[in-house]
Each structure stands twice: as structure tokens, then as C-alpha cells.
Amino acid sequence: MTDLQIITSNNGKLREFKEIFGDSKYIPVQNNIDYPEIQASSLEEVVDFGLDWLQKTTKPPFVIDDSGVFIDFFNGFPGVYTRYIYDTIGLNGVLRQMEDVEDRKCTFRCVLGLLTESGEKQKFVGECSGTLIKELRGKGGFGYDPIFIPHGFEKTFAELSSDEKNSISHRGKAMRKLIDFLLK
Ligand code: IMP
């Protein structure tokens, strides 16, 4: 078994890493070190900067995760600002901004950045499309899960079991690509 550092202070993300890595030969271990998240136009740029910054201070291998929700009606906003919006106006504020919006389609994206033991950088991307509903439903998951219904389902991410969420989620998809890479 090999430890793999996951650099995050988000316990929801860490839980999903542990669930998805399951009984692969890697054990996700949390590292709470804070790194700057730059203002950029894509999650990929945020991850590239994070990997470069952390390379100077932290011994690899490690993984970082930058995620966001891209709402069609707002031309992809909040995207890279997803956490800021969550921390400022919260889910109720998002629902208020969307009160009269009919087109509620959106896509969750997750970009995972890996720095390997030999200093190689890799990124893995996963996406999950769906709609934002008009109220909060469900107690599971974290973040925007209570207002997001993935395409083809009737339950929110917060109402689905964690296995169901992980099997279709942006993070689940990105993480399975990461695991395939690690096992090669
Ligand atoms: P960051 O990746 O730490 O910048 O956070 C992005 C924002 O997206 C945070 O507000 C998270 O709560 C939210 N988020 C990331 N992944 C998920 C998810 O799987 N479900 C719901 N919200 C998420």
C-alpha cells in the first residue's frame, strides 16, 4: 500500500477520494497545507499554478483538486468563482439569483492535478451535466449537492447514495482516470 497526499481542507472532497480509491493500492492521506488559488479563467490554470507553487514546498507524490459549477444561463459563471459564491451568497443566494431563470442546465467540472514522485505533472478532468433545482433537497454530499440533479436522475447529488454520486460525478470520473494512470 502507498500513501498518496491529497492537498485539501475540504473534508467532503477527502471523503470522496477515500471512497473512490476504495481498496486500490493507494491510501489517500489529507494534507491541509494552504496554497494560493489564483484568479484565472480556467480550473486548469488554477491547478497548474497550485502544482508549481506546491512543488517548492511539498514532497511529491500529491494531488490537488479544483472544481466548479458552470451554469449555462450565466455563460459558465460561477465556474472558477464557485467557492467564492458559495462562501458569500450561499446556495440560497444562488437560488434567489436564478428565481426567474428557466434554462437551469449546468455542468460540474473537476480538474485533478498530480505531481508524481519524479516531478512529472499530470491533469485529469471529469464532467457531470445536470440541472439546478429551485430548492435544497437531501442531506448527503457537500457544497452545491442539495441543488444539483445529474442528467438522467430525479434525485439531487445530496439525495443519492455516495456510491451513486461517485459513479457519475465529475470527481469520480476524474479520479478513475487518475487511478488508471497511477496503476500503469
Ligand atoms: P474549490 O475546488 O475548493 O475551489 O471549490 C469549489 C466549490 O465547488 C466549493 O464551493 C465546493 O463546495 C463546490 N464543489 C466542488 N465539488 C463539488 C461537488 O462534488 N458537489 C457540490 N459542490 C462541489
| pLDDT, tens digit (0-9, with 9 covering 90-100), for 66-97 | 999 999 999 999 999 999 999 999 999 999 99
Taking residue 151's Cβ as centre, other Cβ atoms within 10 Å add up to 11
Q: Which residues line ligand 1 (CB under 6 A)?
A: 10, 65-68, 82-83, 86, 141-145, 157, 169, 171
Query: What was the pLDDT predicted at 66?
Result: 97
Centre of ligand 1 from the C-alpha of residue 110, in Å: 9
Model pTM above 0.85: yes
Q: Determine the Cα–Cα distance for residues 50 and 39; give it in Å rounded to an integer.
A: 12
In tens, the pLDDT along 139-154 reads 999 999 999 999 999 9
Q: What are phi and psi of 29, to 5 degrees?
A: -125, 130
Query: What was the pLDDT predicted at 23?
Result: 76
Query: What was the pLDDT predicted at 37?
Result: 85
Residues in the chain: 184
Centre of ligand 1 from the C-alpha of residue 111, in Å: 11
On whether the CB atoms of residues 16 and 166 are closer than 8 A, the answer is yes
Count Cβ neighbours within 10 Å for each residue of 21-55 and write b for 16 or more, e otherwise: beeeebebebeeeeeebeeeeebbebbbbbbeebe
Whole-Å CA distances, 169 to 3, 72, 99, 143: 24, 18, 25, 13
- How many angstroms from the chain centroid is the CA of residue 175? 10
Centre of ligand 1 from the C-alpha of residue 48, in Å: 18
Cell of 74: 450565466
- Which portions of the chain are predicted below pLDDT 50? none
| Of 180, 158, 182, 183, residue with least CA distance to 169 | 158
Centre of ligand 1 from the C-alpha of residue 98, in Å: 19
In the chain, what is the straight-line distance between the N-terminal and C-terminal CA atoms, in Å? 15
Q: Determine the Cα–Cα distance for residues 16 and 172; give it in Å rounded to an integer.
A: 8
Q: Whose CA is closest to atom 14 on ligand 1?
A: 143
Please give the positions annotated as active site. Answer: 66
CATH number of the domain residue 82 falls in? 3.90.950.10
Q: Determine the Cα–Cα distance for residues 90 and 112; give it in Å rounded to an integer.
A: 24
Mutate which of 42, 46, 67 to test ligand 1's pocket (most atoms within 8 Å of Cβ)?
A: 67
Query: What was the pLDDT predicted at 24?
Result: 84
Domain of residue 139 covers 2-183
Q: Whose CA is closest to atom 8 on ligand 1?
A: 68
Instruction: Give how many domains the chain has, as a whole number.
Output: 1
Indicate which atom in ligand 1 lies nearest the CA of residue 67.
Answer: 2
Query: What was the pLDDT predicted at 87?
Result: 97
